[in-house]
Every structure is written in C-alpha cells, then in structure tokens.
Amino acid sequence: MRKYLIIPALLLAAVCCAPKDNVESRVESALAQMTLDEKIAIIHAQSKFSSPGVPRLGIPELWCDDGPHGVRPETLWDKWAAAGHTNDSCTAYPSLTCLAASWDRDLARLYGRSVGEEARYRGKNVLLGPGVNICRTPLCGRNFEYMGEDPYLAGQLSARYIQGVQSNNVAACVKHFALNNQENHRLTANVNVDDRTLYEIYLPAFKAAVQEGGAWSVMSAYNKYDRVFASHNSRLLKDILKDEWGFDGAVISDWGAAHDTDGCANGGLDLEYGSYTDGEARTAPAAYDQYYMAQPYKAKILSGELPESELNDKAARALRLNFRTMADGYHGSFLSPEHTADCRMIGGEGIVLLRNEGVLPLKKDAAKIVVLGENAIRPMVVGGSSSSLKAQHEVSPLQGIRNAFPDAEVIYERAYYSGEPTPGDYNYSLYDITETRPADKLLADALTAIEGADYVVFIGGLNKNKGQDCEGRDRSSYGLPYGQDEVIAAIAAVRPDMVYVNISGSPVAMPFADKVGAIVQAWYLGSETGNALADVLTGDVNPSGKLPFTFPVALEDGPVKTERQYPGYMDEDGIWQVHYDEGIYVGYRWYDTEGIKPLFPFGYGLSYTSFEYGKARLSSKKMGQRLTVKVPVTNTGKVAGAEVVQLYIQDVEASVDRPVKELKGFEKVWLEPGETKTVSISFGRDALSFFDALNHCWVAEPGQFKALVGASSEDIRAELEFSL
C-alpha cells in the first residue's frame, strides 16, 4: 500500500482555518481604528513581494512567494534578482501537470501541505498558486504549471492542494483569474468567449478552488475580457467571484496587471502588486506611493471622486488575509527528509506509461544500460520564469538510473544538443552541458554506445527555456525541438526496444510512437526527478498516472485552428483580439465529438499489471438528489497497482449542443494481485447540467442520460442508462 498520510477532510478544515468569528471580529476592530493612510497603505506593495501591515496596531507585513512548485529564493527589495542568501534553497516539487496526472485527491492534499510547510518556515503569508487555467492549446507556454484540459479534474485536485497549503496558515492564491490560456500577447489580449463556454470550461476550476478548497486569495490575470483588463473587471471579480461564489478573500493583481486608479478601485481588485516596481528604472521618490491604489487613490477619495466604502472593503479583505495567515506559534518545516520523500512519491504517482511492448520494467540484473538525450543531464528546476526554483538538490535522470543500477555499467551519450544554456538562475547547475561535437558526430557516438546494451533509454522532450515550457512566450511548434525526431528514429531503427522518456509539461508530437518499445511521460519532477523516474522504470513503483490532457497526433487535429482563435490578431482599434470560437469543445470534448482519434486520449495510462472491471450498477434508474455508480475492479495481474476509475456523463438527447461525454467523477483504487474492491462514485444533478446563458442559470433537462464508466475517455467499460 502506498504510504502517505491521509488527513480526513473535517480534521483538515479544522486545522486550516482560524475560527471565523475570531478573524471577523479582529478585522472589524482593526478597520475601525485605522486611518485613511493606513487603509491605503495595506492595499498595495511596499517591495517586490510584500505589502505593509499596520505597525501602530501590531499588524505585521504580508509576504508573498512565487509558487506553486516550491518556495522561491529571496529577492532583493525592489528587484527580480535573487538576494544571494545561502539559506533559501528549497525542495522543488513536481509540476502541477504531474500532480494532475496522479488523479489522486489525497496526494494533492499532501503536496499542498508539504509545500505549505516550507512556505510557513520561510515566513511567507501567501503562496502564489495553484494555477488552474485550462489547457486550450498544447502551445501555451505555461501549461506545465496548470492542471490539464478538464475543469472538473483541475477543480478537484486544486481544491485539495489549497486545503493542504492553508493547513499551515499560508494562503493559497489560485491563478490566473480568468481566461489566461496563452502567453503570447497575454498582457494585452482581449478574450472573446460566450457565457456558456466561460461558465462550463474556464470558471469551474476556480469555483471549486474557492468554494471547495476555501482559497483565501485569488490572483487576477493580465489579459482582457470584454475589453476590460481582468484586474479591473467588475464582472469577473465582483459579480462572479465575490457575489455569485461568495469569495471573502483578497484579489491580488498579477505583477504589473493594474493599469489605472479608477479601474482598480471600482473593478474589485484588493491588493496591487508589481506596478513599475523596478526601483532602478524609476527615479521618482517614494515610487510605491505612486501606485494606482496608493496616493492617487487617496486623492480621489478626498476629492469625492471615489467612495471610501470600496476602500473599506479592500482593506477588510487585506486584513482578513493577514489575520488568517498569522503564524500563531507554528513555524512549519523546511528541507526535511519527509519533504524529499513526498517529492519522490508525487513524481512516481504522476508518471504516465503511454506504451509498453514488454520492455518495462527494466530488470535489476542488467549489465549494460545506455542512457541517451540531453534531458538526462539538464537541470530542470531552474527556468520556466516565475516557477524557477533554487533547489537544495536535483537528482538528474542519469543519476537516478545509476542509483538504481549500482552494479551495472551505465553509459551516457548526449545524442542531440540544444545549443541552449541552462537558465542562469541562482548560479545553479548540476553539469557542464556545453557541447562541441557536431550533430552527426553526436548521433554516431550514440549508435556506437548502444552496441551490446541490455537497455537503451532515451530521455528527451522539451525544456524550460523561452519558446518551450516557460512563462511569457508560447511554444514555437508542436514537434520536439533540436532534431530529436530524426535522432530517435535512427536509434529505434537499430534498437526498436528503446525506451523513450518524454520530459515536458504539455502534449508533444511523437511521429516515432509506434517505432519504440516503450514511452514514458515524465513531466518536470523536481528535486527527486531521477529517483522518481528510476522507481517507475524498474517497477519499484507501478505506474498509475493518467493523462490530464489529450495528445493529438498533429496540432491541426485539435479545435484551435484559425489565426482568429490563436494567436489572435490586431483589430482596427489597436487591440489584440482572441476568439474562443471552439466554444465548449476543448480537449477530449472536441476529439470525441468530431470522431478524431488522438495519439493518446485524455485519462489514458498503462500499468505493469492489468485491471478487470466487473458489472457496474446504478443505485437507481431515476435521478433523485444523487445517484451512485458502483463497479467492482479486480487486479488480474501479478503486481500491486492502482487504477483510476473514471465516470463520464452523456446527455442522450439535449436541446443544445453537448459533448459526447464529460468527466464528472473519478476514484483511484489500490489493489494487490488478485484483490477486488468495489469503487463507488456519486454524482448529483449538477453533473447533468449545462449553462443557460440567456437565463443565466444551470439547467438539467428532463430526459435520458448515460453514466459511462471507463479507464480513459476512449476506453469505456460500462454504459448505464438513467433518466431525469
């Protein structure tokens, strides 16, 4: 049985929150005693990552940290540059795509609690994460920080991650609200999306984060919606977030996402960060006092142009965030052996086995193993921009394989060269990854090295440089960079049993998929990358991850096809416009409905064992308040493992266009060889509903439905009919 601590939800809720009445009484008392200047001070930054408290009232500063995969190093007061401390190296956790691929709610709580402990130890009030923006196109440079293409899966795991973080009195800050689904033109793009698509695809994960996870803060996005910047957008921040969902926390601007005083004051923003914070470039005295929600806001209140009531609400939310995150004598923990173990386990649970022609697991008595590919040695916890980390250690894939095979000859050859240095963050490097050999020599040396090898393992994919998996710019293509396709094909022609390990946070093209013996999707796995990967390659961990997004064969197979959809265009008013013309048909919803077969479907993942689904049953043929699907699952193989049972709902005949099916439930079950367990998944009328934009409500139409039980979106094992 997997060994990690499961905290019951009720206990976790008790740990997470200071008594609400106590917090509210403190907010009310403090607000009543504060001057106008003090209220203004606490709603904007005083440094790159902090805002002031109220010293006169004993209220401390509020400190943020750029998560969500680990606690970033300290920066200089008003610069992005690291401060150069020697005690701020962290545990680097796997990317959130890896967590999403685990399909494991308990593991998401563990992840959040573990990283939250490190944030608490470092004195952080707010961890800037998780990110839950939907994977609309594989080209989005920031997909690796998010939780896939499905709003239900993203919402379920982000809610548990948030609960775990906040159990340490550290606020999670769910981001980027909303519609930040591309990095190209993200600062200015105006997103055009219909209300039904907005509510069914792009809002549910945020709603779950707020209502189920209880998030204490939300970060507004850079982009525009309805021609209004998200940080100023009263429909997003007031009407939906605060009024419809009852969010009582603070909305924090993404760094530099505020644009004018009236928009900030009236649009629902509560804390302004990052507005021209480069103190070296801006020479005006007291630069932070010139923030849009600083002295300019105060002047408009004094002149009567803006009401003080809005300021009072913002100040109350800032105070509430501060009081919720006071340490109260709890100091967290940092760089503990438990955190290292958590990191390794999360990585192993999220790795997805995509193909296996009997090659894996690798046998421990191998005499010669050849490891190929630049990603076997390339540091990956650095790069990616805002999620770049200063890790205490990072076990490379090559070292992890060497650790797992101490008696074998493990030979390394690069096989291809990116020509790109590792990002120079924090002067951190495991290896000198420069190369002088030309491409043909690299391939020739690799082909020579594999002669007589028991196993050949090629570790390639993307990296976290600009133009790949990185903030600020989208990927330049769907294919693998640096000529990897040709190199892999050449090696597979000699060794068709080659194991290909793909490191990426997004789907990639794999024209060689049917020419290799095994394919492993390994993500960015953090400090314990090599050990987590070796655990799966050797079978010490039976892979149980499932894809959180679809891998199309080619980019043009997907729903985003036109320039108007992506990357957009400049209109006659000089505004960059992006149109979500595909509507609700994102990811598997598109492929299912259009009948297009992907390379690997959503929810797909293999195991070293096999699972048999027994006869599925519904608690009733008619929907009342809730229905329950029960299905016995048996491990029919020879090794223990976990299976993710997925529940999709199909509306047989609807008055509006609906996808063939939509994910509405899942459970991960651990089984010993020969063991059978009955998996139960309950769902209510909300699982049957679509959003009626005209009447602004959710509608579950009377009629026939099907509950589809499967091992992936393509692999449906049972269809159960019921009516509403």
The strand pair at 190-192 and 224-225 is best described as: parallel
Between the alpha carbon of residue 236 and those of residues 195, 225, 417, 707, the distances in Å are 12, 9, 45, 33
- Report which residue type is found at 289: D
CA angle 397, 119, 142 (to 5 degrees): 55
Rounded to whole angstroms, how far apart are CA atoms 507 and 474? 13
30 sits in which H/E element: helix 20-33
36 sits in which H/E element: helix 36-41
CB-CB neighbours of 634 under 10 Å: 17
CA angle 311, 175, 530 (to 5 degrees): 145
Rounded to whole angstroms, how far apart are CA atoms 490 and 239? 57
Query: Which residues make beta-bridge pairs with 356?
Result: 518
208 sits in which H/E element: helix 204-211
CB-CB neighbours of 564 under 10 Å: 15
Rg (CA), the chain: 25
The strand pair at 518-521 and 352-356 is best described as: antiparallel
Rounded to whole angstroms, how far apart are CA atoms 388 and 472? 13
- Report which residue type is found at 255: W
Rounded to whole angstroms, how far apart are CA atoms 173 and 203? 15
How far is C-alpha 417 from the chain's CA centre?
28
Between the alpha carbon of residue 4 and those of residues 130, 165, 639, the distances in Å are 21, 16, 20
Residue 538 DSSP SS3 = helix
Tokens of 608: 């070293």
Is 380:138 a contact under the CB 8 Å cutoff?
no
Rounded to whole angstroms, how far apart are CA atoms 294 and 613? 61
Residues 6+ apart with CB under 8 A from 374: 414, 415, 416, 417, 418, 433, 460, 463, 482
Handedness of CA 161, 74, 126, 263 (dihedral sign): negative
Q: Which residue out of 254, 342, 592, 651 is catalytically annotated?
A: 254
- Residue 649 phi, psi dihedral angles, 5° rounding: -115, 135
Rounded to whole angstroms, how far apart are CA atoms 95 and 387? 9
Rounded to whole angstroms, how far apart are CA atoms 152 and 140? 20
* 674 Rama class: left (phi>0) / alpha (psi -120 to 50) / beta: left
| 254 flagged as catalytic | yes
- Report which residue type is found at 709: V
Handedness of CA 18, 21, 24, 30 (dihedral sign): negative
Is 571:555 a contact under the CB 8 Å cutoff?
no
CB-CB neighbours of 243 under 10 Å: 12
Tokens of 171: 């606020």
Residues 6+ apart with CB under 8 A from 681: 628, 629, 645, 647, 665, 666, 667
How far is C-alpha 666 from the chain's CA centre?
18
Residues 6+ apart with CB under 8 A from 573: none
Catalytic residue positions? 254
